[in-house]
Amino acid sequence: MSTPTIDSTPTELSHHTPAKAGVKGGLLDPKMLWRSMPDAVKKLDPRTLWRNPVMFIVEVGALWALVCTVLDPSWFGWLTVVWLWLTVVFANLAEAVAEGRGKAQADTLRRAKTDMVARRLDGWAPGVAGTEEEVAAPLLRQGDLVVVEAGQVIPGDGDVVEGIASVDESAITGESAPVIRESGGDRSAVTGGTTVLSDRIVVKITQKPGESFIDRMIALVEGANRQKTPNEIALNILLAALTLIFVFAVATLQPMAIFSKANNPGVADSLALDANGVTGIVMVALLVCLIPTTIGALLSAIGIAGMDRLVQRNVLAMSGRAVEAAGDVNVLLLDKTGTITLGNRQAGEFLQLDGVTPERFADAAQLSSLADETPEGRSIVIYAKERFGLRARTPGELTGAQWVEFTAATRMSGVDLEDGHQLRKGAAASVAEWVRANGGTVSRQLGTLVDSVSSTGGTPLVVGELRNGTATALGVIALKDVVKQGMRERFEEMRRMGIRTVMITGDNPLTAKAIADEAGVDDFLAEATPEDKLALIKREQEGGKLVAMTGDGTNDAPALAQADVGVAMNTGTSAAKEAGNMVDLDSDPTKLIEIVEIGKQLLITRGALTTFSIANDIAKYFAIIPALFVTLFPGLDLLNVMRLHSPQSAILSAVIFNAIVIIALIPLSLRGVRYTPSSASKLLSRNLLIYGVGGIVAPFVGIKLIDLLIQFLPGMS
């Protein structure tokens, strides 16, 4: 079954633009650092920190170094202990800043959760008023019915079951323009905390207590319910394994040092080596500098920041898994109308059949569209008036006229005049069948005109007439879909990212192909039904692909639930929003492309900083190991390329650099690495070149500069 040619669904009063939600990200704000510092200190609690194995080991090491310094005080010991603890605090600060960036929006959302009183209805049914009672909004349960009138706040999430009203959703979306919500359509869902501006509606509550849309948004932007994604968990396991390896590697230095010193009795005790082997504080410092502390400190912040970037674009992700999946998407399913095209098809040409004058056809087309309030219907009336000079008419002028509304069953609309004259306008097959049912015949020319319009990307509407007991087809109205500017370029970007784009439409295959060719999508699904969408997603997933799609209606819910990334429109039904794992508060279907880009940016940022962190550790070997053990093993002098002032300054410089680099990388982890569409091999090459080579060079330069600055401090001889 095809999608109806004429859609009478009400449109929004104003097109939404992305609201500037939350705090803009990217740059390191000193005020934000200061505000987040108390939270960073609270995260020193081992019961919290143990979830991050790398930083937990650093905290245990810092505590051990503190004990060693208390037992054997020295300038070097105290300076090292201070910077070891700062390393842990800075790591916590990265996560605290990432979480803090959502608190501004969370506060705004909480203001929408005021203590409301709901007008609950008992005994209500269509046509039956029922009785009202006032109850506290938190006491509402699923299935309760409430009435909301102009000026009142909607007490909970639900669906409109009676009435139509304009609603102010600025508390959720940040957009001041009101939207229409009505019963019986795909724009029936309302959100608790929004305000009814006009009329009266009856709402059926669909939320559970404490699980409202705003509750979930607050938990999301504050990071309270953020679950680690599979890739993040896998990377944490890898970092824990590397940390464990380095623990054993550093531990082996102790017996090796004792054995070597015993065989070299002429070597004097030093910072690194004393009578008992490697000193405890040196072992801790060495371990902290060699384990992947940088990525361990920033990993959680990267994940939170990725979700925060979605919130800034007014997209609510139900889980971090969905954001990560967006970065791995292989197939993108996009609706044609409103996503690829502007959505409102416009009359572009009248094509009358032989024997029908242009004026007669224009008059019939205008009459059949007078009561059609859709953008397409209005465009036909305007086109006939402007092109053929027909005067503006209203339905009220036609005395005795009976207007035939469009239905999915007939796929036609029109008018029956009092003199027996009838006009129909609609899908070609439906009007042709109506003509034959009323004793008329359909010429081959009609099929030629319909195919001609479809092949050029237009939508053909056929106008038929019944006069004096005989029906005939008069001609074809060509409705043109206008492809949005820049869509071809965006699909080219998707292709370079390795993503296949599929356009979904209810149009016939000829029309679908023409639009697909003009827009530049890779494939299309014409005359799509909900079952077709679901089958397509399953077919792609069986081939090992990850699929993303958008939807807003109840009939989209199965496909949204099946898709790896299902983006439901906020204007859609509750069923669609429950089925998807993301909700676009602006209800902009093209946002799906941005979501994919944000997901890829998240993955690239994580990969880039992991590369940088591991490369850092390689460089630190050359800074610390030669400086510590060159007196014991003179051959290591060949690796002592940095020529640091002393073993003390070498260790302290490495520890200080290790802490400072975490702070320096917080802005990058919050803003994300800039993403440009390209192949996986090119992304890998760029990653290795910039963050791999940069990760090796940075410690050499940074540690050397710090060494020059601290060499004159007490205890650095």
Beta bridge partners of 306: none
**Distance, CA of 276 to CA of 254 (rounded, Å):** 9
Question: Parallel, antiparallel, or unpaired: how do β-strands 145-149 and 117-122 relate?
Answer: antiparallel
> Do the annotations mark residue 407 as ligand-binding?
yes
Q: Is 406 annotated as a binding residue?
A: yes
CA gap 505, 488 in Å, rounded: 17
301 known member of a binding site? no
Helix ranges (H only) for 263-413 are 280-290, 293-312, 320-327, 358-369, 375-388
At position 203, the amino acid (one-letter code) is V
Asked if 200 and 163 count as a contact pair (C-beta separation under 8 A), the reply is yes
| Structural element, H or E, at residue 618 | helix 591-629
Residue 410 labeled ligand binder: yes
Strands (E), 222-314: 273-274, 277-278
CA 559, 562, 567, 573 torsion-angle sign: positive
CA 595, CA 565: separation in Å to the nearest integer? 9
Is 409 assigned a ligand-binding role in the annotation?
Answer: yes
Strands 523-525 and 164-168, how do they pair?
Answer: unpaired
**Do 401 and 395 contact (CB within 8 A), yes or no?**
yes
Consult the annotation and say whether 416 binds a ligand: no
The candidate with the shortest Cα–Cα distance to 657, out of 80, 60, 67, is 80
DSSP label at residue 502: E
Angle of helix 280-290 versus helix 53-71 axis, rounded to 10: 160
Radius of gyration of the chain (CA): 34
Q: Which residues contact 543 (CB under 8 A, 6 or more apart)?
A: none
- Annotated binding-site residue? 456: no
Active site residues: 335
Check the annotation: does 588 bind a ligand: no
Using CB atoms within 10 Å of the CB of residue 23, give its burial: 0 to 12 exposed, 13 to 18 middle, 19+ buried.
middle
* d(C-alpha 553, C-alpha 569), whole Å: 9
DSSP 24: -
Q: Which helix (H) or strand (E) holds 41?
A: helix 30-42
Q: Which amino acid would we find at residue 505?
A: T
Token pair 């460089």 is found at 619
Concatenate the DSSP letters of all residues of 391-410 into one string: PP--GGGSTT-EEE---TTT
3-class secondary structure, 127? coil
Q: Rounded CA gap, 665 and 606, in Å?
A: 12
User: What letter represents residue 246's amino acid?
Assistant: F
Helix/strand/coil percent split, the chain, to 5: 50, 15, 35
Q: Tokens standing for 242?
A: 């590397």
Please list the residues that pair with 347 across neighbouring strands.
479
Q: Is 372 annotated as a binding residue?
A: yes
425 is in an annotated binding site: yes
The reply to whether 229 sits in an annotated binding site is: no
Beta bridge pairs of residue 182: 164
CA neighbor of 644 nearest in space, from 620, 668, 678, 617? 620
> For residues 155 and 134, what is the distance between their CA atoms, to the nearest angstrom?
11
Query: Binding site, residues?
Result: 372, 376, 406-413, 425, 552, 556
Instruction: Report the binding-site residues for Mg(2+).
Output: 552, 556
Q: Which residues are annotated as a binding site for ATP?
A: 372, 376, 406-413, 425
